[in-house]
Amino acid sequence: MGLMDKISADSMSTTPVARPSQERKVDEGRSQQLMDAIEESGVPNHVFLLTEEEHRRGGRQIGASIGMLIFGTVFCAIPLVAVIIMAVGGGLAFLPCLLIFTIPFFWFGGRILRGSIQNLFYPDPLEDVHTIHWFDERHRFIAVVEHTSDPETGQEFYPESLGGLYLKSSDEIAILYDPPSEGAMTQGNRRVCLWDPHSQEESFVLLNLEWFSYYEEEEARARARYYSRKLGLKFNLEANDMAEMNMDVINPEGRLMFIRR
């Protein structure tokens, strides 16, 4: 059974779901089990397609690779030129200190150069990627599954489970936005995400569900309401992207001056 046949067999039930548990259960392989069951027998009645996203990855990215190649070369060249100037100018006594200072430049620049050269001469295979979020109403569980195929032959490969999580009663749906930067250096965005306000991790975000342009405000809200209805969770939070960081974990005593609560 092909992927689209499995999706079309989805019942898309709108029956109200049961409330999540108070504590989050541990995923002990349910995501893999659900993926295998769908591949073998199709989509169960208590499972529906929550969201999906398609993109292409891999292949040779000539423009980006050349740009990173130039950037990495400059990053390595600056400290090298400084060392040469100091050696020629008679500052040999300070040369060991300068060499130590250049280590992070060469490390970072070298990684950039290595990645750009690898993409130019040994690119990853080109793949069409179809990422699906399945929701198991019976177990209050979201599974993320990735399907890949060869864009030239159309051959589909066996999917891969990217993990999953159980919902709990305090989870919410939230929208985080990142405004465009001055001078349009970045375009900005909005994302609808699964949010745990009582998270003990560095981020309150459990899962990004869908991305939008910064100016698609109403579209993002409509989808947030959709996820709220389908998952039986509250949606009442829209905040700047920085709100994702859990400062009680990242900066518990407020000692980092550049990170404020």
CA distance from start to end of the chain: 51
Nearest Cα neighbor of 17 from 230, 235, 234 is: 230
Mean pLDDT by 10 residues, the chain (261 residues): 50 48 82 94 94 90 86 83 74 70 82 87 89 95 95 91 93 95 81 93 93 96 97 94 85 57 43
pLDDT at 214: 95
Q: How far apart are CA 233 and CA 124, in angstroms?
A: 39
pLDDT at 255: 59
pLDDT at 118: 85
Segment (H or E) for 223: helix 217-231
157: which 2 tokens?
A: 């490969």
pLDDT at 18: 54
Asked if 47 and 34 count as a contact pair (C-beta separation under 8 A), the reply is: yes
Q: How far apart are CA 206 and CA 85, in angstroms?
A: 51
pLDDT at 238: 95
pLDDT at 170: 92
**CB-based contacts of 77, cutoff 8 Å, min separation 6:** none
pLDDT at 115: 87
**CB-based contacts of 191, cutoff 8 Å, min separation 6:** 175, 176, 177, 208, 209, 210, 211, 212, 220
Place of tokens 């929701």: 135
Q: How far apart are CA 137 and CA 19, in angstroms?
A: 10
